[in-house]
Amino acid sequence: DTAVSQTPKYLVTQMGNDKSIKCEQNLGHDTMYWYKQDSKKFLKIMFSYNNKELIINETVPNRFSPKSPDKAHLNLHINSLELGDSAVYFCASSHLGTGVSNTIYFGEGSWLTVV
């Protein structure tokens, strides 16, 4: 009954490969996010989708392509992986708007290592 679940939890892959991370939330939220946490623990938003529509797209290389088949799922596909892509990728969800229902919930993270 995990609220925000992402798979895989760990991923080790070679440079140049293409990989995907999947995320699902069962909280009934209308908005989902991808965040990246680097080796210095700094957390930065990458993308946000509201009801399957892209609403935030930070300055992320276009090798990263999010896809939201429905409002409960947000997947992240990464092409031509580079060493600098090694990080922990967190999926999250919330309701859009103000108020305590705007609280954001995070998945457990996906540890990506590019060798």
Partner 1 sequence: GIQVEQSPPDLILQEGANSTLRCNFSDSVNNLQWFHQNPWGQLINLFYIPSGTKQNGRLSATTVATERYSLLYISSSQTTDSGVYFCAVEPFNTDKLIFGTGTRLQVFP
Binding track over 77-96 against partner 1, x by CB under 8 A: -----------x-x-----x
Helix (H, G, I), strand (E, B) or coil at 11: strand
114: tokens are: 């590019």
Q: What's the one-letter identity of residue 40?
A: K
Q: Kindly state whether residue 56 participates in binding partner 1, applying the rule CB under 8 A.
A: yes
**What part of residues 25-44 is at the interface with partner 1 (CB under 8 A)?**
31, 33, 35, 41-44
Instruction: Tell me how far, at minimum, the Cβ of 96 lies from partner 1, in Å.
Output: 6
By beta-carbon proximity to partner 1, the closer residue of 40 and 69 is 40
Q: Could you please report the per-residue DSSP string of 31-88? A: EEEEEEE-TT--EEEEEEEETTEEEEE-S--TTEEEEEEETTEEEEEE-S--GGG-EE
Contact residues toward partner 1 (CB under 8 A) are 31, 33, 35, 41-45, 48, 50, 55-56, 88, 90, 96, 98, 100, 102-106, 108-109, 111
